[in-house]
């Protein structure tokens, strides 16, 4: 019985060591789209550096504490204390205070370092229930759930929301910032490596909070210039009869009262669809955008993302296909 009791006691101490080791091993390898420990921008690098500094420092403190605990358990039968009260004052008060002050210094330094005032490019991101509207005010471009930026430029994200509070986060590029309905917040981020990054709403906003994500694409400067040029253009009226029919369905089935297609319809309740055919995802990062998933989303988005603002449609198969063809052609 005594052995079992001892074992239980020891295994509970060992459990926390194992958790720490696991945490460490989990983050060593592999590509993780949302890992802050694989930074891709200067701000994220500073945050990751601080994280490792904390992990290492507090890890050593933790292991030292466990070691003392083991020593104490081994020496508990002795009548005279092994270490005196001087040791308790130094190891229990002085050293922790010094460590905390030094860490505070580094935290303040990183926090100052990531609050940039410089900005080379301006993007507005507006949180809705439950998707992100993305605007490029200097270029008259409106997009949704997808942000395009050039690499190695400091981007000022002007963050706001409609109706409810959200929070904007691209883990590999930097920290989080709240999106409030009555006050715009600024967040400066830079991507150093071209590629696609995952972003998410990181403030509980009820309903479909867990399904409120976006993609951020960092382009090389040339690619980004091409993207800007193309996306400023309005859509032309299609000449193919099937696409013309789809466009007609778009107006008559009620899509146009919520969605904009620049050059054709004006509305700002749902996401802008001017370039829906080239968008990466549907339903705020929920589905890969393919002809099939687009068609399925139009038919019954409620089955894919319950309680989103888009009602179920009751289109005939021909109308649904023509509408999907038309939207898919908006590349
Ligand atoms: Cu929006 Cu959580």
CA–centroid distance, residue 243 to ligand 1 (Å): 35
Phi-psi region of 285 (alpha: psi -120 to 50; beta: other; left: phi over 0): left
- Give the model's pLDDT for residue 85: 86
From ligand 1's centre to the CA of 168, what distance in Å? 9
Q: What is the structure's pLDDT at 26?
A: 58
* CA-206 nearest atom, ligand 1: 2
d(CA 229, CA 319): 32
Confirm if 238 and 293 have CB atoms less than 8 A apart.
no
* Closest-CA residue to 16 (of 51, 66, 71, 68): 66
Q: If we measure between CA atoms, which residue out of 281, 289, 291 comes closest to residue 326?
A: 291
Residue-level pLDDT at 14: 61
In the prediction, which pLDDT does 84 show? 80
In 186-284, alpha helices (H): 221-232, 241-252
String of b and e for 40-76 (b: at least 16 CB within 10 Å)?
bbbbbbbbbebeeeeeeeeeeeeeeeeeeeeeeeeee
For residue 35, give every residue at least 6 positions away whose Cβ sits within 8 Å of its Cβ, in sequence order, or none.
Answer: 27, 171, 172
The verdict on the CB of residue 127 being under 6 Å from ligand 1 is: yes
**Residue 150 Cα distances to 100, 122, 290, angstroms:** 39, 11, 26
Burial of 21 per CB tally in 10 Å (0-12, 13-18, 19+): exposed
Distance 142 CA to ligand 1 centre (A): 20
Q: Which atom of ligand 1 is nearest to the CA of 212?
A: 1
Does the CA dihedral 321-281-267-300 come out positive or negative?
Answer: positive
Residues forming a β-bridge with 125? 134, 159
Report the residue count for the chain: 331
pTM: predicted TM-score of the whole model, two decimal places:
0.84
Segments of the chain with pLDDT less than 70 = 1-31
Please state the atom number of ligand 1 nearest to the C-alpha of residue 204. 2
pLDDT on residue 115: 87
| Strand partners for 134 | 125, 143
Contact between residue 268 and residue 260 where contact means Cβ atoms under 8 Å apart: yes
CB 165 within 8 A of CB 179: yes
Residue 13, pLDDT score: 63
Nearest Cα to Cα of residue 305 among 111, 80, 76, 131: 131
């Amino acid at each position: 019985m005594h052995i079992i009791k001892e074992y239980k006691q020891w295994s509970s101490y060992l459990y926390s060591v194992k958790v720490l080791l696991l945490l460490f091993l989990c983050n060593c390898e592999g590509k993780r789209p949302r890992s802050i420990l694989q930074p891709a921008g200067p701000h994220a690098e500073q945050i990751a550096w601080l994280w490792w500094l904390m992990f290492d420092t507090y890890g050593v403190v933790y292991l030292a504490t466990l070691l003392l605990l083991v020593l104490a358990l081994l020496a508990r039968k002795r009548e005279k204390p092994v270490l005196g009260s001087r040791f308790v004052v130094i190891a229990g008060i002085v050293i922790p205070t010094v460590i905390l002050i030094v860490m505070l210094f580094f935290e303040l330094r990183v926090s100052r370092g990531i609050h940039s005032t410089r900005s080379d490019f301006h993007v507005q991101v507006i949180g809705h229930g439950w998707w992100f509207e993305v605007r490029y005010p200097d270029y008259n471009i409106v997009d949704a759930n997808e942000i395009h930026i050039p690499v190695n430029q400091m981007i000022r994200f002007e963050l706001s929301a409609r109706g409810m509070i959200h929070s904007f986060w691209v883990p590999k590029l930097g920290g989080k910032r709240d999106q409030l309905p009555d006050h715009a917040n600024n967040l400066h981020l830079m991507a150093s490596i071209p590629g696609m990054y995952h972003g998410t709403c990181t403030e509980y906003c009820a309903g479909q909070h867990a399904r409120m994500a976006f993609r951020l694409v960092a382009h090389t400067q040339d690619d980004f210039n091409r993207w800007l040029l193309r996306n400023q253009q309005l859509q032309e009226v299609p000449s193919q009869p099937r696409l013309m029919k789809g466009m007609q369905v778009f107006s008559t089935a009620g899509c146009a009262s919520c969605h904009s297609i620049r050059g054709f319809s004006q509305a700002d309740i749902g996401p802008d669809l001017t370039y829906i055919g080239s968008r990466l995802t549907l339903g705020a990062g929920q589905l890969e955008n393919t002809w099939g998933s687009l068609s399925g989303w139009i038919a019954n988005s409620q089955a894919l993302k319950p309680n989103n603002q888009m009602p179920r449609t009751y289109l005939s198969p021909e109308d649904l296909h023509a509408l999907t063809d038309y939207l898919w052609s908006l590349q």
